[in-house]
A and B are shown apart, each in its own frame.
Chain A
Amino acid sequence: MTCDEFERVLPELEGGHSSEQEEHLRSCSSCSELVSNLNAITDNARLLPEYEPGPQVWNAIETALRQEGLIRQPQLQLVSPASSSPRWRFAWLVPIAAAALFGSGLFLIHRQVDRQFAVKPAVTTASVTTPAEPARNVASSADEEQILAAIAARAPAMRASYESNLRAVEAYIRDAELSAHDNPNDQIAQQYLTNAYEQRAMVYEMAINRAMQ
């Protein structure tokens, strides 16, 4: 085998040589060195380092993904019967529940002060039901339905449990309100009512956490 013949078949040789080619390599230092050089190039090619793109590359990709709507961040949505997306959060209900608790507390304190200075308690009693309260109760019911719907979407098995908890705490609130109404000067009755609102806020928070998981 000549050097020209050897080099002609060299492109076809992938990790193996025939006995004739092996014989030629043993006898020809030039072809032997050629093969050695080519192998060294191949070996080092596999070891070439990888390079890091600049941060602007990801920034551009992320921007494009958002513009194309491919990145879908969890959105705050009201659950409607037609909505099939479970991806929404009720974190905002926690402060609303807390605000309701705080507002109720203020209302009770205010009512207690009114009662202390009231000329006609009956009038003051009649003023217990403020225009805000029905709205608050309606809002609470609507909030609860949204939370329960979110839980039903995420963890259907838990819905009944949370619904039961909410109903129980609502019953507790009604009883506490009645007690506080009948005993406006009773600090313990006021405390019970405050506790009831706190419990509702806690149930809301637990339900919201479950919905967010």
Chain B
Amino acid sequence: MTGARKLQSDKLSEAEAIERAKQGDGEAFETLYHLHKRRVYSLCLRMTANTAAAEDLTQEAFLQLFRKIATFRGESAFSTWLHRMAVNVVLMQLRKKGLAVVPLEETIETEEESHKKEPGADDVRLAGSIDRLQLEHAVENLPPGYRAVFLLHDVEGYEHNEIARIVGCSIGNSKSQLHKARMKLRELLKASRAEKATKP
């Protein structure tokens, strides 16, 4: 009976849970889900900016993972494997909807636009603390391609070579899109701050 008691999800380590999940242990699946749900869901939510879509994609990512868990050999970290799966699920969904994940070597904005300095733009400074809530809203308002690269690189910590492989673009394009995403965010944050400053 003590063996059964040990299977309480809060006492299972990830490694134990993985092995038990391979045997079809429901509690082990639940343990793995609770260990990683926030990161996966947050990624899905930010990529889609839609709660219902994020929940569906989270569900799909975990289901795909659990279906393949018997093939997990431990060569990479489990979280990495899961996260990669989640990213692929999200990107596939975006592609199905016809949303360009990352433009192929072409820029959305013109060269002029990306290098233009608007008069007075520097008057509103971003120096000092950035309001993270405003940053979240700004990320939501990024074009999907920019948003994907920004989230993968700056939020999730992927390297450009990994992003290039995941989204199917060149490393140079990934770097270019990231820079444009950051520039766009800067612009959005400044606009948001300026709007706040003018409100009574």
Partner of B23, one of A40, A41, A72: A72
Residues in A neighbouring B127, C-beta threshold 8 A: 33, 36-37, 40
SS class, residues of chain B in contact with chain A: helix
A68 CA to B62 CA in the complex, in Å? 14
Decide if A49 touches B37 in the complex (CB within 8 Å).
Answer: no
Q: Which of A52-60, A112-120, A138-146, A177-185 contacts B (4 or more CB under 8 A)?
A: A52-60
Q: How many residues of B contact A (CB 8 A)?
A: 51
A112 CA to B179 CA in the complex, in Å? 95
Decide if B182 touches A38 in the complex (CB within 8 Å).
Answer: yes
Residues in A neighbouring B115, C-beta threshold 8 A: 4, 7-8
Decide if A61 touches B41 in the complex (CB within 8 Å).
Answer: no
A45 CA to B34 CA in the complex, in Å? 23
Chain B residue nearest in CB terms to A59: B59
Decide if A41 touches B186 in the complex (CB within 8 Å).
Answer: yes
CB contact list, A35-89 vs B, under 8 A: 36-38, 40-42, 44-54, 56-58, 60-62, 64-66, 68, 70-73
Residues in B neighbouring A62, C-beta threshold 8 A: 26, 29-30
* Closest Cβ–Cβ distance, residue B2 to chain A (whole Å): 8
Query: Is the C-beta of A209 less than 8 angstroms from some C-beta in chain B?
Result: yes
Query: Is the C-beta of B162 less than 8 angstroms from some C-beta in chain A?
Result: no
Decide if A44 touches B135 in the complex (CB within 8 Å).
Answer: yes
Residues in A neighbouring B42, C-beta threshold 8 A: 48-51
Q: Mark A133-161, 1 if CB is under 8 A from B, else 0.
A: 00000000000000000000000000000
Chain A residue nearest in CB terms to B69: A70
